[in-house]
Structure formats: structure tokens, C-alpha cells
């Protein structure tokens, strides 16, 4: 896949559709040539940002960070919430093209199906920056750069913890580690890549196997409902691998309702490290969290300015991230920013 090739190009580690204008409501500057020719005629940069939705604590922190970073950078932000629907995101991007914003940034809800609207942006001379999630397109000229996490790596880190803690994770002591997986939104880059990374690493231990895997759509409710169904359909679940904290938190509710103790009777691994997840980790209800940073705003604004100034930017900018054990979560929780 193209996005996988992109990761290899240059892993530069830098540290109902509603359209809302943040900052002044002045008309955006004129369209730019492809490649970026600077801000609008008033010298001010206007960015159209098409957000996925508000499905998780991560997403809320990401939206706030982008809005605050735009204000700090003096960039006028037009912000839309697609409510996790690709058609809403496409409408938002078309609306930004019509409004002649200087630059468009978006976090694609799913990987495929973007070429048409991105070609429209290119024809209008408006540069596009992918934020958080990649698109799966053959034509890499449709966007200037992709800023975000390495989701495959996140899945690998989650799998590695399980491999390293396999003895503890065999909760019922039957010699097999029975994992259930709560997947993110079907077709979304983090769901596809985290699954791939996790499966690759756990394949090194034949005792570890995924017995059931379903989407919880990255939401707490989704995680709870899918986990309830998993618990009803089989006994002996040792481990939950949730593609984000929110689904893991939903799973905790389902596990407790079934009279089991999360973190002990069922081990839980999640990704994100937002405050609610870190709190559950420090309380022993989650066993391990792989960080996925939502604080992409400052780098995004910096990249947008560079693109509009005609400067070269790396094709791929990978976010720096860590992992947390229960002890580490308790330590950092008081100062956690999100
Ligand atoms: O794309 C990032 C993922 O999307 C986060 O892990 C998840 O919480 C969010 O909804």
C-alpha cells in the first residue's frame, strides 16, 4: 500500500455536518497554485479542517489542540465534525474548496475513496495535509505531507507486551491465551494497522490466539456492547486488546457487569493513553496502554505555514510516542495534559 511506502520514505520524528469558523469570520484569501503560494491577499492563512467526529476522548483532545494551536499560530480555522461519516467529510472538504481556504487538513475517517475530492482540491490549487490518519491512494501528489502516529508500531507494542507477559496473561491457566479484539472503525487506518502490528508480534507465540474480533467503532458504547456479546458467547477470555482506550473502558463496564474483575480476571491492553484510560490503568483495571498522541496541532500549523511559503516538507512526519504500565500511569497521571 502507498501509505506503507510513505512511512519508509522519511520517518522524520518531530516532536449532521457542522462548519464552524474559529477566529474571525472574514472571507478566506484567494486560492493558491498547487504547491502553495502563501496566505490570502490579506496576509492571513485560513485553514479548513475536516475532523472525523467526537467518537473518543482522544478525538476531543485532538480537536481542542488543533483549535488552540490555530489560534496561537494566528491561523483562521474553519472546523467541521463529520460525525464519523465519510460523505460528511467529503462535503466539508468541498465546502472549503468553494470558500477558497488557503490550506485543507483532515483526518480521514476511512482509508479509501478520497481521490476524487482530493483531485478537486488540487485543481483549485489548495494544498492538503493529512493529519492523524492516512489515505490509501496511488497518487501521492494529492497531499503535501502526512502527520501522525505509526499505527502498525502501536499494534506491535501492544502485542509485544502480551508476548512478554504471556505467563501472567494465561489467567485461567489452561495453557492457551485467549484474546478478544475490539477493533476501531472498519476501514480506518488505525483499525487496519493496529490489528496488523498486533497480529504480527503475537504470531511468535503459538499459545496466543485471537478467538473473536469485532468493531466497536472506537466508542465506549461500542466497546461495551461488543464485549457483552463476547462474554456471552464464550468462557475463558484471558485478554482484551482494544484499539483505543474508550472501547477498553466500555469493555471494563461489561466485564464488571458480568461479575469479573477487569485487569485480573481479564487482562486489558489499549491504545491512546487519554486521562480516563490512564486513570483505569493506574487503578489496575487496564494492564498496559500504548500511547497515541492527539497533540498534533502545533506541528500541523507549522507544516501549513511551510507549505504555503513554498518550503519543502517531509512526506511523512511521525509522532513520538511511548507506552505505560500501571506504575508509570500512576506516576504521570497528575500532570497528564489530556
Ligand atoms: O486515529 C486515532 C484514533 O482515532 C484514536 O486512537 C482513537 O481513539 C480515535 O477515535
Q: Which atom of ligand 1 is nearest to the CA of 292?
A: 6
Residue 9 has pLDDT above 60, yes or no: no
- pLDDT value at position 43? 79
Q: State the average pLDDT over residues 167-180.
A: 95
Which residue segments constitute the domains of the chain, with CATH numbers given? Answer: 6-148+294-320 (3.40.50.2300), 151-292 (3.40.50.2300)
Residue 29 has pLDDT above 80, yes or no: no
The answer, yes or no, to whether any atom of ligand 1 lies below 6 A from the CB of 80, is: no
The answer, yes or no, to whether any atom of ligand 1 lies below 6 A from the CB of 326, is: no
What is the residue-averaged pLDDT of the chain?
90
Residue 27 has pLDDT above 70, yes or no: no
Cell of 335: 500532570
250 Cα–ligand 1 center, Å:
15
Classify burial at 251, counting beta carbons within 10 Å of its beta carbon; exposed 0-12, middle 13-18, buried 19 or more.
Answer: buried
The answer, yes or no, to whether any atom of ligand 1 lies below 6 A from the CB of 58, is: yes
Contact partners, residue 324, CB within 8 Å, separation at least 6: 273, 278, 281, 288, 289, 291, 332
For 191-237, write each residue's pLDDT tens digit: 999 999 999 999 999 999 999 999 999 999 999 999 999 999 999 99
User: What's the Rg (C-alpha) of the chain?
Assistant: 21
The answer, yes or no, to whether any atom of ligand 1 lies below 6 A from the CB of 271, is: yes
Residue 277 has pLDDT above 70, yes or no: yes
For 85-98, write each residue's pLDDT tens digit: 999 999 999 999 99
Q: State the average pLDDT over residues 20-46.
A: 49
Cell of 72: 496561537
Judge whether 35 and 312 are in contact, CB under 8 Å: no
- pLDDT value at position 42? 73
Q: Which atom of ligand 1 is nearest to the CA of 243?
A: 6
SS3 44: coil
Q: State the average pLDDT over residues 70-79.
A: 98
Cell of 295: 497533540
Cell of 139: 497518487
Amino acid at each position: 500500500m502507498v501509505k506503507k511506502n510513505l512511512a519508509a520514505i522519511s520517518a522524520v520524528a518531530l516532536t449532521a455536518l457542522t462548519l464552524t469558523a474559529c477566529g474571525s469570520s472574514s472571507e478566506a484569501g484567494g486560492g493558491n497554485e498547487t504547491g502553495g503560494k502563501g496566505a490570502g491577499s490579506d496576509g492571513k492563512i485560513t485553514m479548513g479542517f475536516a475532523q472525523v467526529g467526537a467518537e473518543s476522548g482522544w478525538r476531543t483532545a485532538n480537536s481542542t489542540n488543533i483549535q488552540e494551536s490555530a489560534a496561537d499560530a494566528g491561523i483562521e480555522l474553519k472546523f467541521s465534525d463529520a460525525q464519523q461519516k465519510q460523505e460528511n467529510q467529503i462535503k466539508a472538504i468541498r465546502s472549503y474548496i468553494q470558500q477558497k481556504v488557503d490550506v485543507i487538513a483532515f483526518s480521514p475517517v476511512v482509508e479509501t475513496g478520497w481521490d476524487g475530492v482530493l483531485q478537486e482540491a488540487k485543481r483549485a490549487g489548495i494544498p492538503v495535509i493529512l493529519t492523524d490518519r492516512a489515505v490509501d491512494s496511488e497518487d501521492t501528489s494529492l497531499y503535501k505531507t502526512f502527520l501522525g502516529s505509526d499505527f502498525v508500531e502501536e499494534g506491535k507494542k501492544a502485542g509485544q507486551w502480551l508476548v512478554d507477559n504471556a505467563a501472567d496473561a494465561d489467567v485461567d491457566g489452561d495453557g492457551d491465551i485467549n484474546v478478544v479484539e475490539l477493533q476501531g472503525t472498519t476501514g480506518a487506518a488505525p483499525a487496519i494497522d493496529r490489528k496488523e502490528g498486533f497480529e504480527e508480534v503475537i504470531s511468535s507465540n503459538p499459545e496466543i490466539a485471537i478467538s473473536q474480533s469485532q468493531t466497536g467503532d472506537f466508542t465506549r458504547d461500542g466497546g461495551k456492547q461488543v464485549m457483552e456479546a463476547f462474554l456471552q458467547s464464550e468462557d475463558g477470555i484471558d485478554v482484551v486488546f482494544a484499539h483505543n482506550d474508550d472501547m477498553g473502558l466500555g469493555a471494563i463496564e461489561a466485564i464488571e457487569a458480568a461479575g469479573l474483575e477487569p485487569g485480573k480476571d481479564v487482562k486489558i491492553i489499549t491504545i491512546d493513553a487519554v486521562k480516563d484510560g490512564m486513570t483505569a490503568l493506574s487503578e489496575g483495571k487496564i494492564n498496559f496502554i500504548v500511547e497515541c498522541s492527539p497533540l498534533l496541532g502545533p506541528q500541523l500549523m507549522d507544516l501549513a505555514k511551510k507549505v504555503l511559503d513554498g518550503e519543502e516538507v517531509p512526506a511523512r512526519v511521525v509522532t513520538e510516542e511511548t507506552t505505560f504500565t500501571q506504575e508509570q500511569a500512576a506516576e504521570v497521571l497528575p500532570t497528564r495534559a489530556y
